[in-house]
Structure 1
């Protein structure tokens, strides 16, 4: 089973998808005349609520939309995903994650602008946003098979299997094993049932409860993680210039790459690895974030796109870079055979021997649990599109069962499953975005003249 899922993931992440994600993102960047970078200041003003209007249509504020989207993207992708990238690809993998984030900012701007431009109504008459709606509303009913494809894979992609798997691994490695507790199927099941109980309370309360929980948890967890990693970097400051430079040099020499070649070379494989881990981390072009941003309380699609594009910057350029540097400067990427969250834990315990692991455990717990809430919302939206809003709650039961499954299966299997499904979600999202991109450019011009920018 593990091998079948790995083959499926490798096949899905072939050259066509890389061209679609990165090539498509570059095309959008040029088409918008580098808008994500020119309008950064304006985006921050929007995020701070300067233009909020309580009478606008939608459910949640710009800030809550961003934190709901970020609570799913700032998660195990930043702690476990980066560790996987470095353990396989070495320091150079981080450079290609940066490339994916810079390109991803323009992709996210376009997809989330479209999510507000072409909101559709579900079977209960509620206004909804997301790739399945901008495909049917923007491209017409004849494109519905593409929207159905997104929704089917979206339901699988929204399962919290990587988060739960890595949270279980973290609790085992950091809390249980050092304290002499025997870990195995029994202890993993106990952890799974505790998570099921916590998740059920929040997710059965709907989007308002999810966004309230996320808007409180996300800023504080990013701040705590930021402080801890800065402490590691300051403690190992003499190593910092060497490894920061190595991210750039290794990106093109691929000297530390340990995986299988791609397109006949290790450099191609390193680029692919960085893009895969970047996509897993910031989800630009995958289509999950537009579902959260599509619910934002705004009648200005461009504004929501500008807020959304801050996501990859915060997620990959800041949080992932911090994790990568912590793993590199402590040297644990060369001295241990750990992978995923265990490798990041090694970096923390290297600099903070007694309490480092436990502080990381708090971050991992909040990262994982906040992601659990957001993903359930994405999955119910996909199910509502497929079989009707009155039946969307069935998804929560599938979701809860998957928590038990994820806590008792190998990490590589869960990571490959989500990687592969994300690839299949990106196809309809990116195709529709590239076709509808000229409409967004037209909207940018209209917005600029309305706002005198």
Structure 2
């Protein structure tokens, strides 16, 4: 076990080296500048599309714009925002939050391009169904000679879509918040029971395909984000005297790196390590450039690629700029990040218990449970799409059985092992996604100009 832990840790560090950082953040900045920040000027229009103003039931696709964004968000608004932010702060201090924000702004531009491409270059699976995602825009947009890149993305996607991190953190939350305080002995047996309960609920939803996943996600996600928002506002109001101090600290520590371990350096310094750490956690939170969201957006009912790109762009804004910031401020203003040795989801629970001692952590548990469960539904869809691309649409249901089995692994293994495995695989998924997006970006820009012209004429 010790050897495996070290192996996964080395794999994650290697995958998240300087080349990937340049590809993700440098590539995102390039897309931002090439588009002259244009997508950002159409945020109002994106909200109108999301509201359904331009919906046409006869358009190709399976789910609405709102359901596509909800499905993509149900994967990203999850443990990355509650546990991931806690991991970022407990390791990197308040400055890590600033670098998560930077990754979100750059990520909005990346999401716009990748999800526009997911509609522009939809392909057909072996059953003749229209599909979208990096593997399809690689083969349809760049040509069949690029298929090895699409196969590489799909193979990584089979592992990257496994729910082990979410399940691991949900199990930890149930143990720390519900079972241990009520005198229940936790161990392998209790973790297995949690695993089997999760399997039953997940199976009910995912075996119904993307339409059922989209329906469930579009109901659950907005409600939970609203509840989470209200709970954190209560915490911030209770600690309003230190709120401004911590907001300033996020900015100053982003360049001072006072709280980052001094023995961990990157690009010759601690600041480099902090930047990498924040961006890595940001990428895990909003998944921009990784290639998962375009698979959900590729199923949207639309024949306007730019529209879907604009809707997808809202993802990192909701996910990282709003939800992650709420979590970060709750952890910082309550001071639990300096007074407890807790990590991950338990640290966030400490912040909630600080202001609402009797019921705070239970309400957080409700949010965590729903966020985690909705993530379980979306990721299964991503995995089946990769399976379908590699082995044919008639084999994709086999992935669900493998996926359901992996829930047990997530419920019974250590956090560091799970983070390193998924981090490393996400890094590998980003390589084909970003390469194809950068090559095809000029075609998106042509489509963007044509779309704006059409909108003005209407």
Give CA-to-partner distance per residue, 1:325-372, whole Å, 9 cap, x none: 000000000000100000000000011111111010000000000000
**Do structure 1's residue 233 and structure 2's residue 236 form an aligned pair?**
yes
Aligned partner (choices 181, 187, 193) of residue 196 of structure 2: 193
CA deviation profile, 1:363-416 (whole Å, cap 9, x unmatched): 000000000000000000000000000000010011011100010000110011
2:349 aligned to which of 345, 354, 374: 345
User: Gaps spanning 5+ residues in structure 2: where?
Assistant: none
Once the 2 structures are TM-superposed, how far is the Cα of residue 118 of structure 1 from its aligned partner?
0.1
Which one is further off, 427-436 or 38-47? Answer: 38-47
Separation in 1, partners of 2:276, 2:284: 12
1:168 aligns with 2:171: yes
Q: Which residue of 2 aligns with 1:34?
A: 37
1:427 aligns with 2:436: no
How many angstroms does 1:35 deviate by?
Answer: 1.7
Q: Secondary structure at the match of 1:105?
A: helix
2:343 is aligned with 1:336: no
Equivalence for 2:397: 393
Alignment of 1:137-286 (within 5 A): 137-258=140-261, 260-286=264-290
Helix, strand or coil for the counterpart of 2:412? coil
Match of 1:408 among 407, 412, 415: 412
Deviation at 1:260, TM superposition (A): 1.6
Equivalent residue in structure 2 for 1:324, among 315, 322, 328: 328
* Number of the residue aligned with 1:437: 441
Q: Indicate the residue corresponding to 1:380 in structure 2.
A: 384
Query: Structure 1: how far apart are the matches of 2:47 and 2:359?
Result: 36
Encode CA deviations 1:63-119: one digit per residue, 9 max, x unaligned: 000000000000000000000000000000000000000000000000000000000
Alpha-carbon separation, structure 1, partners of 2:54 and 2:370: 30
Aligned residue in 2 for 1:54? 57
Whole-angstrom distance in 2 between the partners of 1:427 and 1:56: 31
* Residues 119-161 of structure 1: CA deviation (Å, up to 9, x unaligned): 0000000000000000000000000000001000011110001
SS of the counterpart of 1:256?
Answer: coil
Match of 2:421 in 1: 417
Pair 1:93 & 2:96 matched: yes
Match of 1:301 in 2: 305
The offset of 1:221, in angstroms, is: 0.4
TM-score between the two structures when normalised by the length of structure 1: 0.99
Partner of 1:9: 12
CA RMSD across the alignment: 0.7
TM-score (norm 2): 0.98
Deviations 1:158-214 (A, max 9, x none): 000111000000000000000000000000000000000110011111111100000
Is 1:122 matched with 2:110?
Answer: no
1:23 corresponds to which residue?
26
Q: Give the corresponding residue for 1:357.
A: 361
**How far apart are the structure 1 equivalents of 2:331 and 2:211?**
37
Q: CA deviation at 1:36?
A: 2.6
In structure 2, how many angstroms separate the alpha carbons of the residues matched to 1:95 and 1:31?
Answer: 24
Q: 1: distance between equivalents of 2:234 and 2:228?
A: 10
Q: Give the C-alpha shift of residue 261 in structure 1.
A: 1.2
Whole-Å Cα distance in 1 between the matches of residues 417 and 45 of structure 2? 42
Per-residue displacement from partner, 1:301-343 (whole Å, max 9, x unpaired)?
Answer: 0000000000000000000000000000000000001000000
Query: SS state of the match for residue 295, structure 1?
Result: coil
Secondary structure of the 2:112 match is helix
